[in-house]
Structures are given as C-alpha cells and as structure tokens.
C-alpha cells in the first residue's frame, strides 16, 4: 500500500473519525456514526482504497515520477 493522502487530508479524516465515533458512543447520532472508524483508519494508515480505485492521490510527493 502506497500512501495516497496528504497531511491535511489525513488530519481531516482523523478528526472527523474521532468526532463521529464520539457522537455515536454518546448517542447523539445513530449507529452510522461508527462509520467514522473507516475515516480514522484511512487517516492513520495514510491510504484510502477508494482513492486508489478512482485514481486519485492528494499526496503529490507520493506520486510516481516518470521522466
């Protein structure tokens, strides 16, 4: 797995994941808040499988350099 998310993307995913999980645990939102686990994990491992399927990368330094 090659990283395909930049620092800002990762930070947003981690914060969003923690907030959604926290809201689900406290009962403010329903079970779907636990989907925040996906955002949290993709932020922590620096890789988004959906980005790979769509050919997207927000990590410019991670792209393959061809000359």
DSSP notation for 13-37: HHHHHHHHHHHHHHTSS-GGGGGHH
Mean pLDDT for the chain? Answer: 88
Contact 41, 16 (CB under 8 A): no
- Residue 43: inside a domain, yes or no? yes
Output the furthest CA–CA distance in the chain (Å, rounded).
Answer: 53
- Residue 17: inside a domain, yes or no? yes
Residue that wins the pLDDT comparison between 1 and 56: 56
Domain count, the chain: 1
pLDDT above 80 (res 66) = no
Q: What pLDDT is stored for residue 44 in this prediction?
A: 94
Q: What pLDDT is stored for residue 67 in this prediction?
A: 45
Contact 59, 3 (CB under 8 A): yes
- Residue 36: inside a domain, yes or no? yes
Q: Supply the pTM of this predicted model.
A: 0.81
- Residue 38: inside a domain, yes or no? yes
Contact 39, 45 (CB under 8 A): no
Express each pLDDT in 35-61 by its tens digit. Answer: 999 999 999 999 999 888 888 888 877
- Residue 1: inside a domain, yes or no? no
Domain interval for residue 26: 7-61
Q: What pLDDT is stored for residue 63 in this prediction?
A: 62
- Residue 49: inside a domain, yes or no? yes
């Amino acid at each position: 797995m090659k990283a395909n998310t930049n620092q800002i993307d990762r930070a947003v995913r981690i914060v969003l994941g923690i907030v959604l999980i926290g809201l689900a645990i406290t009962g403010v939102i329903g079970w779907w808040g636990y989907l925040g686990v996906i955002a949290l994990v993709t932020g922590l491992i620096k890789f988004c499988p959906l980005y790979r399927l769509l050919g997207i990368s927000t990590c410019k330094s991670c792209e393959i350099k061809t000359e």
